[in-house]
Amino acid sequence: MISKYFLLAWLTFLNLLLLSSCLNSNVEDTEYSPDAQIYAFSLSSAADTSDILSSTKFTIDQVNGKIFNKDPLPYLFRVDSVLLNIAGASTYSPYALVQLMLDPDSTYNWVQDDSVATTRLKKITTTAPDGITKKSYDFQLNIYQEDPYLLRWEQKSPGYLPVSVVTQKTIALKNRFITYFNSGTAIQAKSTDSGDGADWTTETLSGLPPTLQLSSLMTVNDTAYGLDATTGTVYQSTDGASWNKIVTTHTIKAIYGEMPQATHGNILAAAEINGVLTFVQTDNFSVLKPLNNLPANMPLKDFSATKVDTPTSYSKYLILSGGITSENKFNNNIWILLENNGVITYVLSRIPGAVSVNGSSLFFYDNKPYLMTTSSGENILMYSNNSGLDWIKTAENQSFPSGFTLRINASVLTDAANYMWIFGGISAAQTPLADVWKGRLSKYAFN
């Protein structure tokens, strides 16, 4: 007969054995992650009262082992020490160890509350929860080392056109700049690579009438268009040299340019329909879609135009400045044109002070409209942060160089490398200019 005490002891022994087995099993089966990667990184500092650091986005390059901010911090920004915020694959015990390497060479084990000298931080090395796998990242905090809004200028061609130029206009077409000029008897052209601006080649033109209004030349969708104002005939070219006449259903009075988000063709123009000046939209002038009538005092020739297509804004506009109205008067307004349900609406703005838009040049640069114009006997640049409603004169860091001749009616273009180009114009003495200038903000040189 088995004693009940013996049975109790035996069951206790089995329970202890089972418990020990379970404990041993937990220890043996626990696997710690070998993932040492950093998945999120940010900086903060109590001294950063503008919260610039906390809003700075950092790129984590897992392949090359680098952590850096693509967009540099503001010029002259300085914070001596910061707090690092590092996140791994797991929010619970993400790393077994994090080490920081500072300059000059020194390494220490980092904890969350440590203040770190950003100017000395060179490398971050993490050890995964498994205690074995390591991952190192080179750290770089980019800060503009010079004023990012400093506009640097370079003269490319001091005189690339004949002396006998009467009028001129430069357009960009398929990676080339083409300058058309009228010597008084015929229209001629020279072209250069859009990244060069110094070496010019004479173009052989065909199909272009001598009465073409050069100020009307513009490009839309890799096609150049121009208007013979005496006949209201439109000409087009895909290479800038061979031109063809377009047969239109109505006489064209003005070509305003590319209208963003247009519903009936992205070219906005003015046509005479039954004796009334009317807005029309078209893709290539073969078919015209009549819209509403032109308002009074709308410029018809010699104006400057640029589209405003800011990526961060839903509103897309076409802006006009300067030019001559149907009554042969100067236009002193900035016209902001927008299509709304098949109707061209507009808002007028005017630059305050002694600033004239006569002979001004509009262009889109640094994600906003710019205006090159004249004030107090000198050329100035202005820009708008609200799609052309209000205009601000640029600071001294964006003034023109000392050798820049005062001018109006210049052609101003921008390229994919964020350069602005200025071609020719008319001097204060009413003489044609035949020079080329190239400028760019310093912040684009950094990129």
pLDDT of residue 25: 45
CA-wise closest residue to 159 among 431, 439, 400: 431
Domains and CATH numbers, the chain: 40-140 (no CATH), 151-446 (2.120.10.80)
pLDDT of residue 422: 97
pLDDT of residue 92: 62
Q: pTM for the complete prediction?
A: 0.78
Query: Which residues, at least 6 apart from 289, have a Cβ–Cβ distance to it below 8 Å?
Result: 264, 265, 280, 281, 282
User: Is there a contact between 333 and 356 (Cβ–Cβ < 8 Å)?
Assistant: no
Residue stretches of the chain with pLDDT short of 50: 1-27
Query: Which residues, at least 6 apart from 276, have a Cβ–Cβ distance to it below 8 Å?
Result: 293
Query: How far is 30 from 446, CA to CA, in rounded Å?
Result: 49
* E strand or H helix at 7: helix 4-29
State the CB neighbour count (10 A cutoff) for residue 6: 10
Interval 173-205: pLDDT, tens: 999 999 999 988 889 999 999 888 889 999 999
Interval 351-368: pLDDT, tens: 888 788 999 999 999 999
Interval 46-80: pLDDT, tens: 999 889 999 999 999 999 999 999 989 988 898 88
Give the C-alpha distances (Å, rounded to integers) separating 446 from 70, 144, 285. Answer: 10, 8, 42
Query: What Rg, from alpha-carbon coordinates, does the chain have?
Result: 33
